[in-house]
Every structure is written in structure tokens, then in C-alpha cells.
Amino acid sequence: MKITKIAGIFLIGIATISTFSYCTSDAKKAKGKTASTDSTKVEEENLRAPVDTAKYNALIKKLANGDTTGKWPVKNQPYPLAGAILPFKRIVVYYGNLHSKKMGALGEYAPKEMWQRLNAEVKKWEKVDPSTPVQVGLHYIAAVASGTPGKDGKYINRMANKQIDSVLTIAKMRPNTIVFLDLQVALSTIKAELPHIEKYLEMPNVHLGIDPEFSMKDGSLPGKKIGTYDAADINYVTGYLADLVKKYNLPPKVFVLHRFTKKMVTNSQNIKLRPEVQIVMHMDGWGEPDLKLGTYRHFIFGEPVQFTGFKLFYKNDIKKAPNRMMTPEELMKLKPLPSYIQYQ
């Protein structure tokens, strides 16, 4: 549940193989076993191969959207493994928690209505940028910073597995939907919290988000001030995800990192990029268009990491004049173009 923020001030919140006929059934079995083993090997090698590098280069240049500062596209980034979502698609998600109607559209509306609304947003993006397919997703807050200490005194409310399972079930209502699990660690740590959702991160369609706003390294209570992560924390997370990708032969994980102030992410120039993980630095601020654009310019454009995201708030963005949300057409003018769009 997030508290109100300046530019987003808080909210506590088969490979086919031809086979020949053999004279004996034993020979057939032996052949079948070899074919199956070879097929698996080919699939694993294909997944671990890099993407189409020429296409990748063209697309990240397109995302730079004519930037002439030299910041974008990010230089010397590794090519991701095959199966990477970015930059081949734009991710569009609904964000929230099933326990609260105030934390976002995912949770505010019953699944059927939620899907009607999200599908309408997807159509807008398909219309404004038909050259970039939309990857639909649900971004679920799996650990919520709490106003009470809880049994472990960490001020964190971890969602039960049955709640996460419910989100995965809702995701299946629209084929090929991906799911992000978001962690607000409060007085805990990202190292301590990742194992709680590891069994889900082992799934190819589940990705990760973390929120520095609620990483209270100095012991402050969540919501009293804005928290922080350092590049060292982020590098630990990407290493953790990379190990899962390699161990379970998964496509690259998309890793969303929320940001709306400088101190939320320190030493960003030291963030390590890996072929197994795609980092999205996500502009999480709310407010009128000029304020949001300023936040994006200073903390997202100004400190390049890899890919970028932009959050739109149905309620908080319309509180002040001109009392409206920014449109996909306006966001398509940004440098760089956001690859991840989140609606709350």
C-alpha cells in the first residue's frame, strides 16, 4: 500500500526428428531414447543462444527515439538469451494487490472487469505503436510494507501462496499473460525475502519487481520516509535471477525496479547487466504531466541502466491541473521510449 509521493510520494502500498524403421522393438526403443535426448539438448542450446543481434540493435536504437546525448541506447550491454521479451515487445500491466482496492486496478476490480479495462489499455498501445507487439502482464505486490510490526517485527505482510496462486489463475484468463511478483521488504532485506517466492520465480512466465521506497535500511518505519537500494543490492538480485535462469533453463527474467528520486537507487552506474536478466528502471512517480516528465528526465533518462518504464495512476495523476493522465501518444515522445507501462 503506498503512501503519497512527490513525483510519486508514498502509497502503503519438438524438434521433429525423422526415424527409420528397425527390425526389432529394442532397436526402436533405443532410437526413440536417443531422439528424445537429442531433442532436449537442441532445445536447451537454442534457449541459451543469444537473440537475433541485428534486430536487437535496431530495436534498442528505436527505443532511444532520436536521443543525441549519447546516453541512449545503453552502450556495451550484453545481448540477452533467446526468449527475451525486451525490446521485441512492450509490456503493459495492471498493478495491485487482491487484498486492497486502494493499491491498484489489480485488486480494485473483479477479474472480468479488470481484464476488460486492461484490454482497452492494450488496444491503445497497439494503435499508437503497431510495430511493437504488446506483452500483457499482471504486477502483483507479493510482499506489502505494513503499518504494524507483525510476528517477526519486520513490518512486512507476505502474501500467502494461495493468493499468488489466485493471481496466476487470473493471468490464465488471457493466454500468454506474464506475472510480476513485487517485493516491499520494509525492515527485512531483499536477500531474506527472495526465497519466499523462489518457487514462483522458477516458472518461465513469472518475473520480479522490487520497490526501494519500502527498503528501510536505516530502521525507519515504512511510509515515514523513502527507502533505498544500492547497486550492490540490485546486483545481488540479478545474480540470483541469473542463477535460476541457468539452473532451470528459463528465458530471461524481466526485473522491474521502481524509482522516483535519486536516493532510491544509489551508484546506478555500478549496476551489472547480465544476459539472463533484463532490467527496467521504472518511473514510479505520480502527479501532473510536467512533474512526471521531470522525474523521468532526471532519474530515468539521466541515469541509464538498460530499459525504462513509466507508471500511470488512474486517481493520483488527475488530482491537479490539468487533471488528466498522460496518453500513450505523449509517452511515445519520450527519450528513451518506455518498454514497460504500468497502470495503478
Q: What is the pLDDT of residues 160-199, one digit of tens each?
A: 999 999 999 999 999 999 999 999 999 999 999 999 999 9
CA atoms 321, 326, 330, 331: torsion sign: positive
- Does residue 3 carry a pLDDT above 50? no
- Does residue 237 carry a pLDDT above 50? yes
- pLDDT score for 21: 28
- CA 291 – CA 7 distance, rounded (Å): 6
Say what the pTM is. Answer: 0.86
- Does residue 233 carry a pLDDT above 60? yes
- pLDDT score for 47: 53
Bridge-partner residues for 140, per DSSP? Answer: 96, 181
Mean pLDDT of the chain: 88
- pLDDT score for 8: 37
Residues 209-228: b if buried by 16+ CB within 10 A, e if exposed: bbbbbbbbeeeebbbeebbb
Fold classification of 50-343 (topology level): TIM Barrel (3.20.20)
- pLDDT score for 48: 66
- Does residue 5 carry a pLDDT above 60? no
Averaged pLDDT for residues 45-65? 85
| Nearest Cα to Cα of residue 122 among 341, 282, 315 | 341
- Does residue 126 carry a pLDDT above 90? yes
Chain centroid, CA 150 distance in Å: 28
- Does residue 96 carry a pLDDT above 60? yes
- What is the grid cell recorded at 215? 527498503
- pLDDT score for 123: 98
Averaged pLDDT for residues 122-145? 98
- pLDDT score for 330: 97
User: Could you report the per-residue pLDDT of 299-309, keeping only the tens digit for each?
Assistant: 999 999 999 99
> Where does the pLDDT of residue 51 fall: very low under 50, low under 70, confident under 90, or very high at 90 and above?
confident
- Does residue 40 carry a pLDDT above 50? no
User: Could you report the per-residue pLDDT of 265-302, keeping only the tens digit for each?
Assistant: 999 999 999 999 999 999 999 999 999 999 999 999 99
- Does residue 342 carry a pLDDT above 80? yes
The fraction of the chain above a pLDDT of 90, given in percent, is 85
Query: Where exactly are the structural domains of the chain?
Result: 50-343
- Give the H/E segment covering residue 74: none
Averaged pLDDT for residues 300-326? 97
Determine contact, residues 210/237, Cβ cutoff 8 Å. yes
Residues 6+ apart with CB under 8 A from 143: 156, 157, 158, 159, 182, 183, 184, 185, 193, 196, 197
Determine contact, residues 61/73, Cβ cutoff 8 Å. yes
Q: Which of 20-34, 46-60, 79-93 has the lowest mean pLDDT?
A: 20-34
